[in-house]
């Protein structure tokens, strides 16, 4: 008998005796899940306003709290200018990005060598880049998170190896809360999900030394979200 069958056999045997629901003081062992217990998660998670304006200000508040930079802009032209300013302020020598509707429209302003990660690329070259520019699948107002996937953001590495991650997003990509983000992913991809889906909530951080916050532990030290 294979290990798989042995483990599954032990599980079947163990589960022949029913267990009470925890916290129920011996409540019904016949408890059946009528609907997913987490179906009402949006009623319990931190509240999010119904108006789009309040959702944008909540995202901006969360981003600031996380020490991410969030710029709400009005056009691709403004996003290009914002990117150019970041470039001028930081003196980027080399930048990485991937091909896409937003990246192609915005990155053209940069007068530096561009490494594209949506085709085979040299990781050592990517490691030398000062910034990585990606698109995303959504922004979450409730948490200040950016949702990226291996399909939407130029693979697995681009959004985490360069020291500065710049996210380009459209205003209609903002979703109110986490349940909405999972709905969005399901509608967009199921059942053929990208091999990696990541919720990025602020720049990389650690508190492993005396619980003091340090940004840029292994991932980007800076996260900038340009939304238009």
Q: Which residues of 89-106 are buried (b: 16+ CB within 10 A; e: fewer)?
A: eeebeebbbbebebbeeb
Q: Residue 123 CB, nearest distance to other proteins (Å)?
A: 5
Q: Minimal distance in Å, beta carbon 94 to other proteins?
A: 16
The residue (of 10 and 85) whose beta carbon lies closer to other proteins is 10
Please state the length of the chain.
228
Instruction: Give 32 or 74: the residue with its C-beta nearer to other proteins.
Output: 32
**Closer Cβ to other proteins, 33 or 89, answer by number:** 33
Give 16's DSSP letter: T
Both tokens of 133, joined, read 């520019």
Residue 107 beta carbon to other proteins: minimum distance, rounded to whole angstroms: 17
Q: How far is the CB of 173 from other proteins (least distance, A)?
A: 18
Q: Least CB distance from residue 131 to other proteins, whole Å?
A: 15
Our CB check for other proteins shows the closer of 25 and 74 to be 25
Q: Which is nearer to other proteins, 77 or 217 (CB)?
A: 217
Backbone φ and ψ for 205, nearest 5 degrees, come out as: -150, 160
SS (H, E, C) 140-186: ECCCCEEEEECCCCCCCCCCCCCCEEEEEECHHHEECCHHHHHHHHH
**DSSP string over 48-71:** --SSHHHHHHHHHHHHHHTT-EEE
Smallest gap, in angstroms, from Cβ of residue 180 to other proteins? Answer: 9
Closer by beta carbon to other proteins, 111 or else 210: 210
Paired tokens of 136: 């995303």
What are the two backbone dihedrals, phi and then psi, of residue 18, each rounded to the nearest 5 degrees?
A: -80, 150
């Amino acid at each position: 008998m294979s290990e798989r069958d042995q483990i599954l056999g032990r599980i079947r045997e163990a589960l022949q005796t029913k267990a009470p629901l925890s916290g129920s003081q011996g409540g019904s062992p016949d408890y059946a899940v009528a609907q997913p217990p987490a179906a009402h998660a949006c009623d319990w998670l931190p509240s999010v306003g119904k108006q789009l304006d309040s959702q944008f200000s909540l995202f901006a508040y969360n981003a600031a709290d996380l020490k991410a930079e969030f710029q709400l802009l009005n056009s691709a032209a403004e996003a290009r200018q914002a990117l150019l300013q970041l470039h001028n302020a930081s003196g980027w020598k080399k930048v990485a990005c991937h091909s896409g509707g937003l990246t192609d429209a915005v990155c053209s302003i940069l007068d530096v060598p561009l490494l594209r990660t949506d085709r085979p690329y040299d990781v050592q070259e990517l490691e030398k880049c000062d910034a990585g520019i990606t698109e995303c699948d959504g922004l979450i107002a409730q948490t200040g998170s950016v949702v990226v996937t291996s399909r939407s953001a130029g693979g697995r590495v681009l959004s985490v190896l360069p020291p500065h991650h710049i996210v380009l997003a459209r205003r209609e990509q903002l979703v109110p809360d986490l349940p909405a983000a999972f709905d969005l992913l399901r509608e967009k991809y199921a059942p053929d999900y990208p091999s990696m889906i990541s919720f990025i909530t602020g720049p990389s951080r650690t508190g492993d030394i005396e619980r003091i916050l340090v940004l840029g532990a292994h991932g980007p030290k800076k996260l900038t979200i340009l939304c238009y």
